[in-house]
A and B are shown apart, each in its own frame.
Chain A
Amino acid sequence: MGKPSDLVQGTLDLLILKTISLEPQHGWAIAKRIQQISNEVLQVQQGSLYPALHRLEQQGWIRAKWAESDSGRQAKFYSLTAAGRAQLEREKKSWSRLSTAINLVVEGA
């Protein structure tokens, strides 16, 4: 398992932030949601999901809370902080700039 490249790591942060922006989610649900919404294209590696979640928490973008899950078991739910919401906007902007640029290159050539 190699270290995720900058691009992957950057997008994973974006994906996580976006996923929990609607409602608080636990790690399992975040991975599932990303998988579903992307039509099973994006498979989140468990090996990078939890380190990423913990890193985002340390940086103050997201906040964790222990609550009961659907199955009735205690799970750690992550939600966005105000700063995290702003960060999401920034990440979104930089992503769209990046993807537009890549599109331009790929389509234009």
Chain B
Amino acid sequence: MRWLDQFRMAMLMLFRRKTETARLNDELGFHLDQQVKENTARGMSPDEARYAALRTFGNPTQLGEEARASWSWNWLEKFLRDLRYGARTLTRSPGFALTAILVMALGIGATTSLFTIVRSVLLKPLPFRDPDTLVMVYEHFRDSTNGDGFNVVSPADFNAWREQTHGFQNMAAWRNYGFDLTGEHQELPEVVQAAGGSWNLFSVLGIQPALGRDFRPEEDKVGANQVVLLSWSLFQRRFAGDPSVIGKQIRLDSAPYQIIGVLPRWFTYPDARVQLWVPYASTFDAKSFARHDMHQSHVVARLSPGVTAAAAVNEVGALQYQMHLAHAAEPVAEEVRLRPILEDVTQDVKTPLVVLLCAVGCMLLIACLNVSNLLVARSAARRKELAVRGALGGSRLMLIGEQMAESLLICLAGGTLGVLLSFGATRWLAEHWSDLPRADSIHLDGTVLAFALGLVFLTALMAGLLPAISSTGSGIFAALQESSRSIGGSLSRATLRKTLLTVEIALTVILLVSAGLLFKSFLHLRTSNLGCVTDHVLTMKYGLPEKQYDTREKVIAFHEGLLERMRRLPGVQAAGLVSTAPGGGWDNDYVFTLPEHPSNSFQLQNDALVRSADPGYFSALEIPLISGRIFTEQERLDRDQYTVVSKKFADKFFPAENPLGQRVTVGSLRKTYEIVGVVGDTMWDVTQPIMPMMYFPILSGVPEQTGSATIVVRAAGDALSLSIPIQQQVAALDPALPVYDVLTLQQVVGKSTATQSFSATLVLAFATLSLLLAAIGLYGVLSYLVAQRNTEIGIRMALGAQRSEVLRLVLFDGLRPVLIGLVIGLVGGGTAASFIRSILYGTSPLDPIVLATMVASLLLTAVIACVLPAIRASKIEPMQALRIE
């Protein structure tokens, strides 16, 4: 029962502290009175009795304090008292407090935001069953030079893996797909991003549909009855969340599909853009489903308990090698590779996010150093006060505690403000960073708040400890002895401030260099030459459903009809059709052979991107013709055996010959083409190197190859204003055909550089803030030093020092830590640059322009911060300075 007594006391002490204090005083008073009474009884006079009692009793206040020291919650009481003192000191200099709080708010807020994003995107496990045992399996070409060596999988390879190997518990596949979605009754058509998933995909992931049922094995067959699973967002948006849609029909590319279920709201794999799922096999025809050389699928596998990932992948790899040998003339990979599913989802943003987190951590450190610096300045101004407190019996620990409470208050206020800031900032980032995977899982929660609180204490410790320790050291009483006119007073304090400043400058330089490199790389991307005109170009896409547009003639009729209508529109200077516009992505590639240069086996290097284009496309985008000619209008239907190649293609495959008239055999099409022209290179992705490219006539009209097209229109003025008139022309030809991705060419480029844009802009913002903080710090230290040395400078001038000499003296005093910091920072910056090398495009980590610019901007800022105090010093009137105090 003892704990009950203890608990009762603890509660009493916590909630009835005031009463208990009064009672303690009563108790001591009672004791004293008894003593007085006894003394009086012995015959002392009342006054005498009282003094004698007090003599034996001791100091009642101190006794009370000592008794109180044994109470529980005493630490809390002390802490609250420190906080109260801290708050009082802070409100005495609101300017300082406000600056410090704002600085900390920025630091803590930005760090919290980035932590939230990094945690949600990179660290939180995916919301699947046992996500740690899920891996992605890819093909790997041994001599692959493009990309990261993780090549998407062909359907036949996947089927062989699933049927013939047993290392994995289960294997499922998915591929991206697109549909024109319409209802049964002429509702507004729309293009939806879809995906084909093998029947076991959701059970492998551990997902149950929120409504209805999952795919069945018999539905995952080529030509089976067609069924569809809706995503939650499409279900809400297009079907108003009405559960009765299950069992009803919708039309995808004009074919009827039965809705069998709705996926859970939170299910956004592989990304939030996928609106509906159909069975994997139904996205293929029988011929392509059996092909080993068409790669487009992603394979998810679950590891078996007891089988290592290496053993499982070896088994699949052995099978893959057999298939490679069996199809030696086709692009079938030799090996397979795997990586964890989380890594697969986040690979593109991992480095940028880590870089941002480091940058923001750097900024937080700079903020801490700055506040620390400000506190040192204040403690220097309060030396006498501290000395008096120390002399009156304040222990060192108490004095340190008090100063720490001050920095804790600053950081608490800053942290609160920072969390509020980060609330908005995180949301804004998650909404506007379009390439960010798992953006929907980003939100502030308990862990983040705990993290922010931890940051508050950590920063309070970092910012407060050094000034507190240094100001309460053994030399504390020297302040009392110091005469008011002493001049070399706080030399050590100035050294401490300069050291802090050096570290601050070094960190700023690291940030500046990284920011400069990232920004230059981003500018490089944004201004990179796509290989065509990019101003006033509008692009939009459409896909002709193969069910309706099932012959070459029908496809050509639509394409040509649309081109003719568009070219007649006012404001249109030129119009063309292409399968995918420059900067619009990989689209498709063919591996080919050259009949004039026969080789024994298939060569992976004979690979080029393919585009279908109409004759007007090249002039519409001003892609230069280098030699030969463009297709003619007559090269259509089955007279389509002509190809135009890019300069890179010609240089790579015909380095010493005239490419014109040469022939190219595309194995997968079983067709040979004659090269009729060479045009300039265009980029397929601004962040990637240029690839060889082949163009085929879109007027061949082969439905599966030319049914999807991108309209490119060069406008006389504002390109976007043409989007409605063009959509009207499309609707006039086929009212059920939706267009999508209506973007100017510059927007296309912007979309593909969103991550670079974010990381460059944010790091630059952090660096600028840090520079500002460093400048404030520098200015503060130097102003303080000048104020301290007022008398000294006065004496110097009285003894004949020139004003220019004083100016130089102070200036160099301030610039010394800057220069040391700069050197350290450049070394650190070099290390940081090699770390971010992988996300730099066309920019060397030691780019001289960036380094020069950053060093110059730092020096300029530093000189400005130093000049003001230096000028003030040089204007000191010697007589006045000597007469002060």
Residues of A within 8 A of B (CB): 1, 26-28, 31, 46-47, 50-55, 57-61, 63, 66, 69, 71, 73-76, 81-83
Q: Which residues of A contact B1 (CB under 8 A)?
A: 81-83
Q: Contact: A54 with B30, CB < 8 Å?
A: no
User: Is B70 within 8 A of A76, CB to CB?
Assistant: no
Instruction: Pick the interface stretch among B55-63, B433-441, B555-563.
Output: B55-63
Closest Cβ of chain A to B94, distance in Å, is 41
CB–CB B2/A54 < 8 A: no
The answer to whether B23 and A58 touch across the interface, beta carbons within 8 angstroms, is no
Question: How long is the Cα–Cα vector from A75 to B9 in the complex, in angstroms?
Answer: 19
Q: How far is the CB of A52 from chain B (nearest CB, A)?
A: 8
Contact of B6 among A26, A54, A60, A74 (CB under 8 A): A60
Ordered by A's residue number, 15 sampled pairs between the chains whose C-beta atoms are within 8 Å are A26-B30, A27-B31, A28-B30, A47-B62, A50-B67, A51-B66, A51-B67, A51-B70, A55-B70, A58-B71, A60-B6, A73-B30, A75-B30, A81-B5, A83-B2
Contacts of A75 in B (CB 8 A): 27, 30
Mask: chain B, 39-77; 1 = CB below 8 Å from A; 0 = not: 000000000000000001110001110111111100000
Chain B CB within 10 Å — which of A58, A71, A75 has the most? Answer: A58
Q: Which residues of B contact A73 (CB under 8 A)?
A: 30, 33
Q: Shortest Cβ distance from B25 into chain A, in angstroms?
A: 11
One digit per residue, 1 when the CB lies within 8 angstroms of any chain A CB and 0 when it does not, for chain B 66-98 equals 111111100000000000000000000000000
Additional 17 contacts, C-beta under 8 A, given A28-B35, A71-B37, A83-B1:
A27-B27, A28-B30, A46-B31, A47-B62, A47-B63, A51-B67, A51-B70, A55-B70, A58-B6, A58-B10, A58-B72, A60-B2, A74-B30, A81-B1, A81-B5, A82-B1, A83-B5
Q: Knowing A46-B57, A74-B26 touch, does A54 contact B71 (C-beta < 8 A)?
A: yes
For B67, list chain A residues within 8 Å (CB). 50-51, 53-54
**Contacts between the two chains (Cβ within 8 Å), count:** 80
Residue of A nearest to B37 (CB): A71
A51 to B72: give the CA distance in the assembly, Å.
12
* Cross-chain contact A76 with B23 (CB below 8 angstroms): yes
User: When the two chains form their complex, are residues B9 and A81 in contact, meaning their CB atoms are under 8 A apart?
Assistant: no
Nearest-neighbor residue (CB-CB) of A59 within chain B:
B6
Q: Residues of A contacting B668 with CB < 8 Å?
A: none
A57 to B4, CA, bound (A): 12
- With both beta carbons as reference points, the residue of chain A lying nearest to B66 in the complex is identified as A51
Is B34 at the interface (CB under 8 A from chain A)?
yes
- Quick check: A69 and B30 within 8 Å, CB to CB? yes
B736 touches A (CB below 8 Å): no
Q: Which residues of B contact A31 (CB under 8 A)?
A: 31
Nearest Cβ on chain B to A63's Cβ, whole angstroms: 6
Closest to B20 in A: A54
Which residues of the partner chain B approach A50 to less than 8 Å between Cβ atoms? Answer: 24, 27-28, 31, 63-64, 66-67
With A60-B2, A60-B9, A83-B5 given, is the CB distance from A54 to B70 under 8 Å?
yes
Q: Does B428 contact A (CB under 8 A)?
A: no
Q: Are B23 and A66 in contact (CB under 8 A)?
A: yes
B3 at the interface (CB under 8 A from A): yes
B residues in contact with A59, CB < 8 Å = 6
Which of chain A's residues have a CB closer than 8 A to the CB of B4?
60
**Do B71 and A76 touch (CB < 8 A)?**
no
Q: How far is the CA of A27 from the CA of B26 in the complex (A)?
A: 12
**A residues near B33, Cβ cutoff 8 Å:** 73
Q: Which residues of chain B have C-beta atoms less than 8 A from A63's C-beta? A: 5
Complex contacts, A58 vs chain B, CB 8 Å:
6, 9-10, 13, 70-72
Which residues of B sit under 8 angstroms from A28, Cβ to Cβ? 30-31, 34-35
How far in angstroms is the closest Cβ of chain A from B511? Answer: 52
Candidates B6, B66, B71; contact of A47 at CB < 8 Å: B66
Chain B nearest CB, measured from A19 CB (Å) = 15
The chain B residue with its CB closest to the CB of A47 is: B58
* CA–CA, A63 and B12, complex, Å: 13
Give Cα A60–Cα B410 distance, bound, in whole angstroms.
39
Is A46 a contact of B70 with CB atoms below 8 Å? no
Q: Which residues of A contact B72 (CB under 8 A)?
A: 58
- Smallest CB-CB separation from A45: which chain B residue? B58
CB distance from B728 to the nearest CB of A (A): 85
Assembled-state Cα–Cα distance A81/B3 (Å): 11
Residues of B within 8 A of A81 (CB): 1-2, 5
Q: Give the docked Cα–Cα distance between A55 and B72 (Å).
A: 9
Give A81 to B1 CA distance when docked, in angstroms.
9
A60 / chain B contacts, CB cutoff of 8 Å: 2-6, 9
- Say yes or no: A46-B58 contact (C-beta < 8 A), given A51-B70, A60-B3, A63-B5: yes
B42 to chain A, nearest CB (A): 14
Q: How many Å from the CB of A75 to the closest CB on chain B?
A: 5
A75 to B23 CA separation, bound complex (whole angstroms): 9
Are A76 and B9 closer than 8 Å at their CB atoms? Answer: no
Contacts of B56 in A (CB 8 A): 46
**Which single residue of chain B is at the shortest CB-CB distance from A61?**
B2
Q: Could you say which residues of chain B place their CB within 8 Å of the CB of A61?
A: 2
Please report the C-alpha to C-alpha distance between residue A46 and residue B56 in the assembled complex, in whole angstroms.
8
Within the complex, the shortest CB–CB distance from A89 to chain B, in Å, comes to: 14
Of B4, B57, B63, most A-chain CB atoms within 10 Å: B63
The reply to whether A57 and B9 form a contact with Cβ atoms under 8 Å apart is yes
User: How far, in angstroms, from A50 to B23 measured CA to CA in the complex?
Assistant: 12
Give chain B residues whose Cβ lies under 8 Å from the Cβ of A27.
27, 30-31
Q: Tell me the smallest distance from the CB of A106 to a CB of chain B, in Å.
A: 32
Query: Please, which residue of chain A has its CB at the minimum distance from the CB of B72?
Result: A58
Chain B minimum-CB-distance residue to A86: B2
B120 CB to closest chain A CB (Å) equals: 46
Q: Which residues of A contact B9 (CB under 8 A)?
A: 57-58, 60
| Complex CA distance for A54 and B56, rounded to whole angstroms | 20
CB distance from B6 to the nearest CB of A (A): 4
Min CB distance B35 to A, Å, is 8
Residues of A within 8 A of B26 (CB): 74, 76
Q: How far is the CA of A51 from the CA of B772 in the complex (A)?
A: 54
Shortest C-beta distance, B130 to chain A (Å), equals: 49
Cβ of A32 to closest chain B Cβ, rounded Å:
8
Interchain nearest-CB distance for A6 vs B (Å)? 16
Neighbour of A51 across the interface among B3, B35, B69, CB < 8 A: B69
A59, B35: Cα distance in complex, Å: 28
B365 to chain A, nearest CB (A): 42
Instruction: State in angstroms the CA–CA spacing of A58 and B2 once bound together.
Output: 10
Q: From residue A54, how far is it (CB to closest CB) to chain B in Å?
A: 4
A contact residues around B62 at 8 Å (CB): 47
Chain A residue with Cβ nearest B59: A47
Q: How far is the CA of A31 from the CA of B3 in the complex (A)?
A: 28
User: Closest B-chain residue to A60, C-beta based?
Assistant: B5
Whole-angstrom distance between the Cβ of B389 and the nearest chain A Cβ = 22
Residues of B within 8 A of A74 (CB): 26, 30
Q: Considering the chains assembled together, what is the distance between the CA atoms of A57 and B35 in angstroms? A: 24
Q: How far is the CB of A47 from chain B (nearest CB, A)?
A: 5
Instruction: With CB as the reference atom, state the residue of chain B lying closest to A73.
Output: B30
Q: How far is the CB of B75 from chain A (nearest CB, A)?
A: 13
Q: Which of B364-398 contact A (CB under 8 A)?
A: none
**B31 cross-chain contacts in A, Cβ below 8 A:** 27-28, 31, 46, 50
Minimal beta-carbon separation of B393 from chain A (angstroms): 14
Residues of A near B28 (CB, < 8 A) are: 50
Nearest neighbor of A27 in chain B, beta-carbon distance = B31
Report the minimum CB–CB distance from A8 to chain B (whole Å). Answer: 15
Give 9 closest A-B pairs by Cβ, nearest first: A60-B5, A83-B2, A55-B70, A60-B6, A28-B34, A50-B67, A60-B2, A54-B70, A54-B67
Chain A residues, CB < 8 A from B30: 26-28, 69, 73-76
Does A46 lie within 8 Å of B3, measured CB to CB?
A: no
State the Cβ distance, B59 to closest chain A Cβ, in Å.
9
Interface centre among A46, A52, A73, A74 (most CB of B within 10 A): A46
Chain B residues, CB < 8 A from A47: 58, 62-63, 66
A61 to B3: give the CA distance in the assembly, Å.
Answer: 10
- Min CB distance A10 to B, Å, is 15
| A105–B23 CA distance with the chains assembled, in angstroms | 46
**B64 — nearest CB in chain A belongs to which residue?**
A50
CA distance A65 to B23 in the complex (A): 11
